[in-house]
Amino acid sequence: MYTVFSTFDVPDEKAEEVINIYQKRSRKVDQAPGFVDFQLLQNDKRAGELTVQLTFETKESYLKWVRGKEFKEIHELEKRYPDQELAAVIPSIRQYKVVAT
């Protein structure tokens, strides 16, 4: 298993707006070969700190997803989001291989 965390900060007052966007996400990643799970996590003490957690069967399946057409299309849409403050958010990415369960 391979898990990727993409953490970003938005103003606390915009956290619910971002959560709503993710609740209505395209779910294209769900169809990617090797995809296992998606979760959006919210920091319990800082509402504006959100983390997307993606889990894939292998690092190779994750890399195939991020190099693919659907990934690029989704992230191009994010750049054109009307709220430029949200569109400019740059996440911190951390990647992990699962070594024990």
pLDDT tens by residue, 36-53: 999 999 999 999 999 999
Which whole number is the average pLDDT over 8-30? 92
Q: List the beta strands (DSSP E) in the chain.
A: 2-9, 35-42, 49-56, 92-97
pTM exceeds 0.75, yes or no: yes
Residue 12 amino acid letter: D
Is residue 77's pLDDT more than 70? no
pLDDT confidence of residue 73: 83
Cβ contacts of 56 within 8 Å, gap of 6 or more: 1, 2, 3, 4, 32, 34, 35, 36, 62, 65
pLDDT confidence of residue 31: 94
* Neighbouring-strand partners of residue 38: 54
Q: Decide yes or no: CATH 3.30.70.100 for domain 2-97.
A: yes
The rounded mean pLDDT for the chain is 91
- Helices and strands, number each (H, E), in the chain: 4, 4
